[in-house]
Chains A and B, each alone.
Chain A
């Protein structure tokens, strides 16, 4: 592939949205300040290219514009709603949980809600109200699809699938992984990468990706934690400890088969999840593996999560609460 195709996640997302807007006239985007690109420059240049009817600046009223999005989706449009911080989606929780997630079911399939939420997620030094792991908060809500890409390649392919989905999709990208101008980009070595061109490129939901193959222990991680896990796996390889790192890519639907197949091989499972200790995808996967793959386990399942506390503002305390590479390495060593 052309080296000029080495992109950041936000560049991959921008390509995906642009290709989908060119392909399908029913696709439009709305959100706060998106005329100037939005908080993470997701829609940079879109107002000029597509005009104000398809690139709609909204007032600061999440309940209002999410409700408008639900209505537009019911009427046959495919809205993409850009959030400055995913945390603000909680303000519109009724529209998401009670309307978007339930209407297809409650109407017996008479209406569908094809709606994508572009949600910056996770902790990035902005304090408790701007650090929620949205994928954890909404994980237990039936009727939502939840996507957590960790690479530009995945982000583009999954975003195009999200736009084409007939269900509401929470598209959660870690704030440290966008690679937007002026923003911190963590783990640049693994969080940028080559991205395919062309509108036929999509990645289906519910298919995990083995980001690093190994034989001794299975690590399942997403978002920022995936990159920390890859770094740990690379270090442990020097000692001969072979770590398999699996990126689920989508949390709903979740590719449990790939995880269990890997555990059958390695006998050991470490789940790394930036969400708090209680609930969330990693607790669910631990329970599923205990039910369906118990006899493959050669050690207790380890979960590495944030502490069960609102995220502290002080950088040193945030660092202590969120799983570090040391925490991940220690969990692997406990069971290896």
Chain B
């Protein structure tokens, strides 16, 4: 005898939560293989989940109307099979066919085969060939193609992840691919570059009272961008469906490299926020993005994104606009460089800022004025 887990199988294309609507059996009921145990709602369909073996319903862990995740254990089934713990004991299996099953019902294959008893797996020839070459068991994959057919990208996703983060990283990859392709092919980009002297920023950071964490370069630049957007409302716009739209609030995004891929998180409503508030909100938003626990307002449209690769030693780069934003600011590293000041060559901590601009929304003059304000604010020339 064995007490085996009853798990939520991967149902259709649902990747997130599904609702366990109702148990059709109660604890103590005798169960035959194939009996419907409970129903789940995948937002696309109500799916009946049958028992994977004969036995007795021993425990219900997640009751009716609970939100559950694929592969979550929602109950226990007392079965006649030998438990994996007692595999070495001379306790002959009741059924040699059952004995060949995986001993862990949480194995996705078992959960899926209970949904598709015919045993046929619909997969494209291309997907089958790839699965063979990568030694991936195609029966373990959920298809996303026509009529649920397994496609090449389904196989690639399983092969590249293997973990529960796989679906999410695949989706982020696909989203980044789609959005950058649209942006680069449909948004007429132009670029404005400026070298910025970070002496003032460095002095202010050093002057922070002990115990207070100095704001990061990214936070300081977001602060400067937010102030500059208030000063140059002509660039606080976006071009959408052939129309120029003005924004009433100031929102700046930041590119975050999460484990699962690139996410541009928005810091909305920055009017009036000071550097300490921006630092705190930036830290929280970055943490949420890294943990992949975003809130709806984290993904709101913004006037520009700050993308900082300076920490990797990058001097300068040009970034692709995150549609429908009008601009993105690429930030290089702050590094001591010789510059001419009052006809003398001096060493200053410099960084190059490269602004990518959607020419449909903003002209060169507006972009230059905006970036000039960002520079003057960073260099301490404007005390806002």
Partners in one complex: yes
- A-facing mask of B157-186, CB < 8 A → 1, else 0? 000000000000000000000110110011
Q: How far is the CA of A295 from the CA of B151 in the complex (A)?
A: 12
8 Å CB contact of B145 from A240, A295, A298:
A298
**Cβ A267 vs Cβ B146 within 8 A:** no
Chain B residues in 8 Å Cβ range of A297? 124-126
**Cβ A295 vs Cβ B125 within 8 A:** yes
Chain B residues in 8 Å Cβ range of A22? none
Q: Which residues, 116 to 142 on B, are CB-close (under 8 Å) to A? A: 124-127, 129
Q: How far is the CA of A225 from the CA of B186 in the complex (A)?
A: 25
- B-facing mask of A290-302, CB < 8 A → 1, else 0? 0000111111100
Q: How far is the CA of A296 from the CA of B129 in the complex (A)?
A: 9
For the complex, is B36 an interface residue (Cβ under 8 Å from A)?
no
8 Å CB contact of A296 from B126, B181, B185, B186:
B126
User: Assuming the A-B contacts A237-B185, A267-B126, are A299 and B149 also in contact, with contact meaning beta carbons closer than 8 angstroms in the complex?
Assistant: yes
Q: How far is the CA of A334 from the CA of B145 in the complex (A)?
A: 8
8 Å CB contact of B186 from A238, A267, A298:
A238
User: Assuming the A-B contacts A298-B126, A298-B152, are A335 and B185 also in contact, with contact meaning beta carbons closer than 8 angstroms in the complex?
Assistant: no
Chain A residues in 8 Å Cβ range of B124? 267, 297-300
Nearest-Cβ distance from residue A119 to partner chain B, whole angstroms: 36
**Cβ B146 vs Cβ A335 within 8 A:** yes
Report the nearest A residue to B181, measured CB to CB: A240
**Cβ B146 vs Cβ A299 within 8 A:** yes
Nearest-Cβ distance from residue A211 to partner chain B, whole angstroms: 17
For the complex, is A242 an interface residue (Cβ under 8 Å from B)?
yes
Most buried by B among A294, A297, A298, A335: A298
Q: Per DSSP, are chain B's interface residues mostly helix, strand or loop, or mixed?
A: helix
Nearest-Cβ distance from residue A66 to partner chain B, whole angstroms: 45
Q: How far is the CA of A296 from the CA of B125 in the complex (A)?
A: 7
Q: Which residues, 275 to 304 on A, are CB-close (under 8 Å) to B? A: 294-300
Q: How far is the CA of A246 from the CA of B186 in the complex (A)?
A: 22
Chain B residues in 8 Å Cβ range of A238? 182, 186
Q: How far is the CA of A295 from the CA of B127 in the complex (A)?
A: 9
Most buried by B among A267, A296, A334: A267
Nearest-Cβ distance from residue A9 to partner chain B, whole angstroms: 30
Q: How far is the CA of A174 from the CA of B223 in the complex (A)?
A: 62
Nearest-Cβ distance from residue A186 to partner chain B, whole angstroms: 25
**Cβ B146 vs Cβ A334 within 8 A:** yes
**Interface residue tally on B, bucketed by range:** 10 to 19
Q: How far is the CA of A335 from the CA of B124 in the complex (A)?
A: 11
**Cβ B151 vs Cβ A299 within 8 A:** yes
Q: How far is the CA of A240 from the CA of B183 in the complex (A)?
A: 9
Nearest-Cβ distance from residue A237 to partner chain B, whole angstroms: 7
Nearest-Cβ distance from residue A93 to partner chain B, whole angstroms: 40
**Cβ B125 vs Cβ A294 within 8 A:** yes
Q: How far is the CA of A297 from the CA of B150 in the complex (A)?
A: 12
Q: Which residues, 165 to 214 on B, are CB-close (under 8 Å) to A? A: 178-179, 181-182, 185-186
User: Assuming the A-B contacts A296-B126, A299-B145, are A267 and B152 also in contact, with contact meaning beta carbons closer than 8 angstroms in the complex?
Assistant: yes
Nearest-Cβ distance from residue A301 to partner chain B, whole angstroms: 11
Nearest-Cβ distance from residue B138 to partner chain A, whole angstroms: 13
8 Å CB contact of B181 from A242, A294, A334, A335:
A242
Report the nearest B residue to A240, measured CB to CB: B178
**Cβ A298 vs Cβ B185 within 8 A:** no
Report the nearest A residue to B150, measured CB to CB: A298
Report the nearest A residue to B174, measured CB to CB: A240
**Cβ A240 vs Cβ B179 within 8 A:** yes
Nearest-Cβ distance from residue B207 to partner chain A, whole angstroms: 48
Report the nearest B residue to A334, measured CB to CB: B146
- B-facing mask of A165-204, CB < 8 A → 1, else 0? 0000000000000000000000000000000000000000
Q: Which residues, 300 to 323 on A, are CB-close (under 8 Å) to B? A: 300
User: Assuming the A-B contacts A237-B185, A240-B182, A267-B152, are A300 and B146 also in contact, with contact meaning beta carbons closer than 8 angstroms in the complex?
Assistant: yes
**Cβ B145 vs Cβ A335 within 8 A:** yes
**Cβ A295 vs Cβ B181 within 8 A:** no
Chain A residues in 8 Å Cβ range of B182? 238, 240
Q: How far is the CA of A125 from the CA of B146 in the complex (A)?
A: 35
Chain B residues in 8 Å Cβ range of A240? 178-179, 181-182
User: Assuming the A-B contacts A240-B178, A240-B181, are A298 and B146 also in contact, with contact meaning beta carbons closer than 8 angstroms in the complex?
Assistant: no
Q: How far is the CA of A299 from the CA of B123 in the complex (A)?
A: 8
Nearest-Cβ distance from residue B166 to partner chain A, whole angstroms: 19
Nearest-Cβ distance from residue B245 to partner chain A, whole angstroms: 18
Q: How far is the CA of A300 from the CA of B149 in the complex (A)?
A: 9
**Cβ B179 vs Cβ A298 within 8 A:** no
Report the nearest A residue to B127, measured CB to CB: A298
- B-facing mask of A236-252, CB < 8 A → 1, else 0? 01101010000000000
Report the nearest B residue to A302, measured CB to CB: B146
Q: How far is the CA of A93 from the CA of B68 in the complex (A)?
A: 68
Q: Which residues, 320 to 336 on A, are CB-close (under 8 Å) to B? A: 334-335
Nearest-Cβ distance from residue B155 to partner chain A, whole angstroms: 10
Q: How far is the CA of A167 from the CA of B151 in the complex (A)?
A: 44
Q: How far is the CA of A267 from the CA of B125 in the complex (A)?
A: 10
Chain B residues in 8 Å Cβ range of A295? 125-126, 129
Nearest-Cβ distance from residue A239 to partner chain B, whole angstroms: 8
Report the nearest A residue to B179, measured CB to CB: A240
Q: How far is the CA of A240 from the CA of B184 in the complex (A)?
A: 11
Q: How far is the CA of A242 from the CA of B182 in the complex (A)?
A: 10
- The 9 lowest CB-CB distance pairs between A and B, nearest first, are A240-B178, A298-B126, A298-B124, A298-B152, A240-B182, A298-B151, A294-B125, A295-B125, A295-B129
Contact surface of A with B, Cβ cutoff 8 Å: 237-238, 240, 242, 267, 294-300, 334-335
Given A296-B125, A335-B146, output 15 extra A-B contacts at Cβ < 8 Å. A237-B185, A238-B182, A238-B186, A240-B182, A267-B151, A267-B152, A295-B125, A295-B126, A296-B126, A297-B124, A298-B127, A299-B124, A300-B124, A334-B146, A335-B145
16 contacts between A and B (CB under 8 A): A237-B185, A237-B186, A238-B182, A238-B186, A240-B178, A242-B181, A294-B125, A296-B125, A297-B125, A298-B151, A298-B153, A299-B145, A299-B149, A300-B124, A300-B149, A335-B146
